[in-house]
A and B are shown apart, each in its own frame.
Chain A
Amino acid sequence: MIIDPSEKRKEVKKKLRKLEGLPTLPPIVQRLNQMIEDERTSLNQIAELIEKDQVITTKVLRLANSAFYGFPRKVSTVHQAMMLLGINVLKILIMTSSIFEIIHKEDVGLWEHSIGVAACSKIISEKIEFKDAQEIATAGLLHDLGRVIIKVSFKEEYQKITELISQKVDPLSAEKEILGIDHAKIGAFLMRQWNLPERLIEAVASHHNLENTKKYRQEASILHLSDVLVHARGYGKTLYDGVPPLDARALKYLNLGLPEIKEILFTLEPRLYELRFFTEELKKEIAGDNG
């Protein structure tokens, strides 16, 4: 049977729109959104709301303290995290920690890849003196959100995609063939549903297709380059066994040459070394939960 990709795409989007069978966000996210929109809300009130939830607080502080942000001192309160990271980043950390909790149980490799890309995105942003490096790091964390969704919520299709990949079809084409849409678009679609900033949505949507960018070409280029570099270094695991193609335009848009790439990789290495301890700690906890 031949699948009509555009029909399939409609079906997938419908499911996404209704959030059918998708990982649910903790109720606190909804509440946070309302508070952020309400101008009368103070940062203190927001911090208080988060701190009431011990589980979320622990997760957020742990992510904030992990090496991908590279803060020299320990972040010990939600308030401090908010001052250092900004409210948008904090919101995304809360979402991500919930989404990735599902995935790192099933797919530690993708989780490792994602935090590696987050760390690398932060380093590149700082290198080119880009504004809001933290926010870009967070986009790095979310760049493969669509893959998580496919794996968790489109299980049958995921099977077919991995079959195609084992027959040497490249992962993006395999996703498009089976779902009519690739993981970058799925991730962005969901991020829009969750009211995340347009800058991050476009970066995630276009991290494999730089020509699709409208306003945020550099953001998308940072994610694209980080994705390639983390694969090249062999940190984490995704559907790509080898190194995915590098779009040379990313280097042009970011005004980076090989000497800068070298600096980036040498800065990244110790971060990845530290992140490994972080991931191991999570793995142990999961093993503990199951045992």
Chain B
Amino acid sequence: MQRLPVSYLKPGMKTYEEVYDAQGRVLCGKGVELTEEMIKRFSELGVSYVTVDGTPVKLPWEKTLEEELQELEKRFEGIRDENLLQIKEIIKELLYEKHKASSP
């Protein structure tokens, strides 16, 4: 699954979960293939993000889990503060979870 701003949506992408408007009304169910009209309607109704199936868009700034972990190690190099080390563990956990959720 991938969460995308409405401007990134293309017809043919499939919803991963329901799409709601600002008032919490369901605009579209899950597993529905998007059409041009639906996307237009989302943007008119002020929907900002829609979660779709798979990872149809390659986002140049997104990193792999390995890259993320490597950079994390580098940022924490030489740090011995107990609180910071625990924060590091939390971030590690977060990264694992994030990448587990986004892999197909």
| Binary interface encoding of chain A residues 53-75 relative to chain B, with 1 for a CB under 8 A from any of its CBs, else 0 | 00000000000010000001110
Pair B72/A234 contact, Cβ less than 8 Å:
yes
Q: Which residues of A contact B61 (CB under 8 A)?
A: 276, 280
Q: Could you say which interface size class chain A belongs to?
A: 20 to 34
Q: Which residues of A contact B86 (CB under 8 A)?
A: 258, 261
Q: Count residues of chain B with CB under 8 A from any CB of chain A.
A: 29
When A232-B91, A280-B61 are in contact, do A248 and B22 touch as well, CB less than 8 Å? no
**How long is the Cα–Cα vector from A276 to B3 in the complex, in angstroms?**
12
**How long is the Cα–Cα vector from A274 to B4 in the complex, in angstroms?**
8
Pair B83/A251 contact, Cβ less than 8 Å:
yes
**How long is the Cα–Cα vector from A73 to B48 in the complex, in angstroms?**
8
Which secondary structure dominates where chain A touches chain B? helix
Among residues of B, the one whose C-beta sits closest to the C-beta of A273 is B3
Q: Which residues of B contact A231 (CB under 8 A)?
A: 75
Is B26's CB within 8 Å of the partner chain A? Answer: no
Among residues of B, the one whose C-beta sits closest to the C-beta of A266 is B94
Is A21's CB within 8 Å of the partner chain B? Answer: no
Q: Which residues of B contact A274 (CB under 8 A)?
A: 3, 5, 48-49
* Residues of B bordering A, CB below 8 Å: 3, 5, 8, 22, 46, 48-49, 59, 61, 68, 71-72, 74-79, 81, 83-84, 86-88, 90-91, 93-94, 98
* Residues of A bordering B, CB below 8 Å: 65, 72-74, 76, 228-229, 231-234, 241-243, 245-246, 248, 251, 258, 261-262, 265-266, 269-270, 273-274, 276-277, 280
